[in-house]
Amino acid sequence: GENVEQHPSTLSVQEGDSAVIKCTYSDSASNYFPWYKQELGKRPQLIIDIRSNVGEKKDQRIAVTLNKTAKHFSLHITETQPEDSAVYFCAAKLSNDYKLSFGAGTTVTVRA
Amino acid sequence: DGGITQSPKYLFRKEGQNVTLSCEQNLNHDAMYWYRQDPGQGLRLIYYSQIVNDFQKGDIAEGYSVSREKKESFPLTVTSAQKNPTAFYLCASTILLGNTIYFGEGSWLTVV
């Protein structure tokens, strides 16, 4: 099955700075890569996703990049705000599978 | 996300008891999932179902059972064979062959 590794496990940034989280995946057949944000005690919420036919996708202050050759993808958050503090999970899905494999998560803390 | 309802939100189980967590969705999604999340950890797949009357084991199925008698319902039973069941349980669903997976609000299970 797919194996997803996520780094760093914790990330502390000053408000207004950028945050970058990186994930690698093992199976080159994976074609869908979502990112979820989870606040304490709440359900994960999809914030952005990218498919393997696209190299980059942006949505306001959030962007995701995908390098299929190296099998890694990254989440970029610019101009961080206190409400960006949460746990972020990356995930990957094989094209012929219904299962979503998650990374271990990154706890992001934005310092005021 | 609002179309996936989990109940109860909090549940306490005595040693040796079976308990059942309910998951209902009104999104007309074909595939449904159960994930387990331990404090500070990622999401691990317990079971998933692509169609009615069919389901597959995930990565940590031991000590759990499921049924899928109706498209909108996918209950999870935590049996007494699950030795360490205290965790946050998340139900999810997606359109068949679709990619975006949506989560319910989760159920907290504690063994007392």
Substitution target in B33, B47, B103, B108 with the highest count of A β-carbons within 10 Å is: B103
Q: Which residues of chain B have pLDDT under 50?
A: none
The reported pLDDT for the residue numbered B2 is 56
Q: Is B99 on the interface with A (CB under 8 A)?
A: yes
Q: Which residues of chain A have pLDDT under 50?
A: none
Exposure class string for A40-58: b at 16+ Cβ within 10 A, else e? eeebbeebbbbebeeeeee
Exposure class string for B87-109: b at 16+ Cβ within 10 A, else e? bbbbbbbbeeeebebbbbbbbeb
Percent of chain B clearing pLDDT 70 (strictly above): 96
| Cα gap B105→B33, rounded to integer Å | 13
Q: Do B41 and A46 touch (CB under 8 A)?
A: no
| Cα gap B82→B62, rounded to integer Å | 7
Is-contact A46 B100, C-beta < 8 A?
A: yes
Instruction: For A47-58, write each residue's pLDDT tens digit.
Output: 999 998 889 999
Q: Do B45 and A51 touch (CB under 8 A)?
A: no
The reported pLDDT for the residue numbered A72 is 96
The reported pLDDT for the residue numbered B67 is 98
Task: Name the minimum distance, in Å, from the CA of A42 to any CA of chain B.
Answer: 6
The reported pLDDT for the residue numbered B82 is 87
The reported pLDDT for the residue numbered B110 is 93
The reported pLDDT for the residue numbered A98 is 82
